[in-house]
Amino acid sequence: MNKLAKRLTWIAAGAAVGVAVAKLSKKRGARSADPQGLRHSGTTVLETERLILRRFTLEDAEPMYQNWAHDPEVTKYLTWPPHQDVDVSEEIIDSWVSQYEKGNYYNWAIELKELGEPIGNISVVQRDDRARRAHIGYCLGKDWWHQGIMTEALGAVIKYLFREGYLRVESRHNVKNPHSGDVMKKCGMQYEGTFKGYEWDNSGIGDAAFYAILKEDYENTKGGACQ
Ligand SMILES: CC(C)(COP(=O)(O)OP(=O)(O)OC[C@H]1O[C@@H](n2cnc3c(N)ncnc32)[C@H](O)[C@@H]1OP(=O)(O)O)[C@@H](O)C(=O)NCCC(=O)NCCS
C-alpha cells in the first residue's frame, strides 16, 4: 500500500470511530438527562428502616390480593373496586410489569422486611414532566395501618423524586379520609386547599384536599419529618 492509500485508510477508520462515539454519547445523554432535567430512572429499589420499595413481580399477586386488594375497607376511598379473586390481582400486576422498562413509570410494591411480602403500593399516578410535577397515590393493607408505614414509604418516594429532577410532589385525598392527609403532613407537604365535589371514589363524589411540597422547601427544611 502506498503512503496516500495508507493515509486514506487511517482517515476512514478515524471517521468511523468518531461516528460511533457521537452515536453513543447521544444515546447516553438521552438516557441520563432529558431537556427538562429529569433523570427518568423509573422504579428503582428504595430501602427504609422497615421497608423495601421495589418493582412488582407476578409472584406478588397472591399477597396483593390477600394483604390489601380484596378488602372493601382499604378501597373505600380509592377508584378501583376490591378484587374479586387473585386473577384480578395477577392481571393488574401484569399490566404494571410491562411498563417498568419506561424510565418515567414509578410504581413500587411496599414490602415489609420482616414479612418478606408486599403489604401495599405507592406510585406516581399523574405526571407533568414539563412542569416537573408528580402526583402520588398509595394504599396499605388494614393490618398495618397506623404504624407509620406509609409515612416511611412516602418520605422515601418524595426524596427519590426530587433526586429524579421533579420540583413539586403533590397528592390529594377525600376529606372523609383524613388520615391520608395526616401522612402527607407528616412528610412535610403543605395543605393547599379543598376542591368541592372534585372527585369520585368508592364512597361516592366528594371534596378533595390538596397537599404539595416543593423541592426548594424540602431542601430548606431538610426533608421535614420524613428524613
Ligand atoms: C391512609 C393510609 C395510607 C394511612 O397509612 P398509615 O401507614 O396507616 O399511616 P401512618 O401510620 O403513617 O400515619 C400517619 C398519621 O396519620 C394519622 N393516622 C393514621 N392512621 C390512623 C388511625 N387509624 N387513627 C388515628 N390516626 C391515624 C396519625 O396522625 C398518624 O401519625 P402518628 O402515627 O404520629 O399518630 C392507610 O390507612 C390506607 O392505605 N388506607 C386505605 C387506602 C387509602 O385510603 N389510600 C389513600 C387514598 S387518598
pLDDT band with cut points at 50, 70 and 90 for residue 9: low
7 against 120, higher pLDDT? 120
CATH number of the domain within which 214 lies: 3.40.630.30
Round to whole Å and give the CA distance between 43 and 68: 21
Provide, rounded to the nearest whole percent, the portion of the chain with pLDDT above 70: 82
Across the range 157-167, mean pLDDT stands at 97
Q: Is residue 7 part of a domain?
A: no
Determine the pLDDT at residue 24: 46
CB 99 within 8 A of CB 107: yes
pLDDT digit string (tens) for 84-108? 999 999 999 999 999 999 989 999 9
Q: Is residue 23 part of a domain?
A: no
Tell me the CA–centroid distance for residue 95 and ligand 1, in Å. 28
Q: Whose CA is nearest to atom 20 of ligand 1?
A: 146
Atom nearest to 152 CA in ligand 1: 12
Q: Is residue 190 part of a domain?
A: yes
Q: Is residue 6 part of a domain?
A: no
The count of other CB atoms within 10 Å of the CB of residue 107 is 20
Residue with cell 394483604: 67
Q: Is residue 11 part of a domain?
A: no
Q: Is residue 22 part of a domain?
A: no
Range of the domain at 68: 36-220
Determine the pLDDT at residue 34: 63
* pTM score, whole prediction: 0.87
Determine the pLDDT at residue 36: 73
Number of structural domains (the chain) is 1
Residue of 179, 180, 189, 210 best suited for mutating to test ligand 1, as the one with most atoms within 8 Å of CB: 179
Across the range 63-72, mean pLDDT stands at 98
